[in-house]
Amino acid sequence: MILDTNAVSALLSGEAALGQILRTADRHHLPLPVIAEYQFGLLSVRRGRRRSASLFRRLEADSIIVFPDRETADVYATIRHELRQKGKPIPENDLWIAALARQHALDIVSNDSHFDFIDQLRRIGW
C-alpha cells in the first residue's frame, strides 16, 4: 500500500485506526510527492516541528520510497485524461500519487475520496 499525505499526518499523530490498517501490510510505500508535501508542512508549523520531523524521518527509513519515472509520466497523463473526461479533476500532487499507485499496483491509504474517481485504483480510508 502507498501512503497519501493525510495518512502520514494521521499516522504520526497516533491515529489508532490507521495503525490497524498498516499492520495488514508487510511494508508500506511512500511516494516522493508525499515526502515533499509533508516537508512543506513541517516548514509551515513551528510548534512540535522537531518531534514531527524526527518521526517523519523514522517513517521514511521504514518505507519503500517510490519515485516518478518515465513510465509514471505515461500513467499520470492517462489518469489526468480520464479524470478530465469525467469532469473530476484532482489536485496535481494527488495525480502523481495516483499514477505511482497504479503503476506499482498498490492501494492508496487516504481519506481523500477523489481517489475513488480513478479507475484501476483502490483507496483504503480509516
Query: Is-contact 111 121, C-beta < 8 A?
Result: no
pLDDT over 70 (residue 65)? yes
Which pLDDT belongs to residue 48?
A: 59
Mean pLDDT over each residue of the chain, to the nearest integer: 94
Query: Could you give all domains of the chain from N- to C-terminal order, each with its CATH number?
Result: 2-124 (3.40.50.1010)
C-beta neighbour count of 88 within 10 angstroms: 12
Judge if pTM exceeds 0.85. Answer: yes
Strand partners, 65: 30
- Confidence at residue 47, expressed as pLDDT on a 0 to 100 scale: 65
